[in-house]
Amino acid sequence: MSVTDDPVALNQWIACAYVGQVTPGKSYDTAMLGQAIRISCALDGTCTCHEIGDDGGPGRQLPLSQRFEILFTTLGDTPRQLPDIPEFAEADRRVANCASVGLHASPFRIVENFLDMAHFCFVHKDILGSMEKTEVFTYKTEHRKDVDEIWATDCAFFQPAASTSAAEKGGGQVTYYKYRVMSPFSVMLYKTVYGNAERDDAICLFIQPKSETECIAYMPMAILDDQSTMTQIIDFQQTIFLQDRIILENQRPVLLPLTPSAEIPTKADVSSIAFRRWLKGMGMRFGILQEQAA
């Protein structure tokens, strides 16, 4: 494994552990973008992060930032700012740290899967989708240049059991979504809260690309749910993600192609087209299938 030389990938804040994963007096070894790193936690709870050399010893110290129940670090000198997600500061929300899931897949395939509504009925049958109502309604996507993010809005889908609280009440509902790609390695959605027309649940996915084809996914949520236990909430989210993992680990090619003709888009894929165009525009090479010379 060698560290990438792609400056676009290097200049991102990347999730490297969830809060509580590194306990006082212990250290935790992991990797990002092909670089081995070690997070150490002193007895007073202060954490530090270092690159680890081939000899196993610590090298350059890296910055650490804690947000959304996650520790982030960066290998770059001028990283893109971490996103602002105000919902995590709202006092009446429950912040659920849904732990982490390791998977052998490209980080961008994971983002695209998160954006894709067409798979709900097949992969998350009877939970996020129903075989009787498979249509993905037309939605809008835009590149919000002021924040340099990709958004998909006006998304709607019939869901038999959209969340833990909705599943308990039963009957299914049309769920409204807004998707927000916050960086090449992080995406989130805003989703209808059952019985609350005014506010949305905020569900995030931060991806730690250990390499181009191996990642750890973190799923913090800031949700409005005073009924379910934290275990129920986490189990629901993990069940969904483990269903996705089977699909993701079997996608070919593993790396993401950016040539328009590489994979045939449908109208349901407009958010993925916008995401690919955005990656191409920023010059991302890490995790991208290199075009064959003609």
Query: Which residues contribute to the site for Fe ion (CB under 5 A)?
Result: 244
Please, what is the minimum distance in Å from the beta carbon of residue 112 to Fe ion? 11
Please, what is the minimum distance in Å from the beta carbon of residue 90 to Fe ion? 26
DSSP state of 45: S
Please, what is the minimum distance in Å from the beta carbon of residue 124 to Fe ion? 6
Question: What are 133's strand-pairing partners?
Answer: 130
Gap between the Cα atoms of 129 and 13, Å rounded: 33
Q: Which is nearer to Fe ion, 225 or 244 (CB)?
A: 244
Please, what is the minimum distance in Å from the beta carbon of residue 179 to Fe ion? 13
Please, what is the minimum distance in Å from the beta carbon of residue 165 to Fe ion? 19
Please, what is the minimum distance in Å from the beta carbon of residue 171 to Fe ion? 22
Q: Which is nearer to Fe ion, 36 or 248 (CB)?
A: 248
Cα dihedral: 231, 45, 208, 88 (round 10)? 60
From residue 219, alpha-carbon distances to 24, 79, 102 in Å are 23, 22, 12
Q: Which is nearer to Fe ion, 9 or 127 (CB)?
A: 127
Q: Which is nearer to Fe ion, 73 or 173 (CB)?
A: 173
242-249's contacts with Cβ under 8 Å and 24+ in sequence apart are 242/101, 243/123, 243/124, 244/113, 244/123, 245/101, 245/103, 245/105, 247/113, 247/119, 247/123, 248/103, 248/105, 248/109, 248/110, 248/113, 249/103, 249/104, 249/105
The closest alpha carbon to 138, from 149, 153, 127, belongs to 153
Q: Give the number of other CB atoms < 10 A from CB of residue 227.
A: 11
Q: Which is nearer to Fe ion, 201 or 244 (CB)?
A: 244
Is residue 254 within 8 Å of residue 106, measured between CB atoms? yes
Determine the length of the chain: 294
Please, what is the minimum distance in Å from the beta carbon of residue 44 to Fe ion? 40
The closest alpha carbon to 49, from 39, 58, 41, belongs to 39
Please, what is the minimum distance in Å from the beta carbon of residue 244 to Fe ion? 4
Strands 64-67 and 70-73: antiparallel
**Closest residue to Fe ion: CB criterion:** 244
Gap between the Cα atoms of 271 and 140, Å rounded: 8
Q: Give the number of other CB atoms < 10 A from CB of residue 193.
A: 19
Q: Which is nearer to Fe ion, 231 or 239 (CB)?
A: 239
Q: Which is nearer to Fe ion, 21 or 272 (CB)?
A: 272
Q: Which is nearer to Fe ion, 39 or 205 (CB)?
A: 205
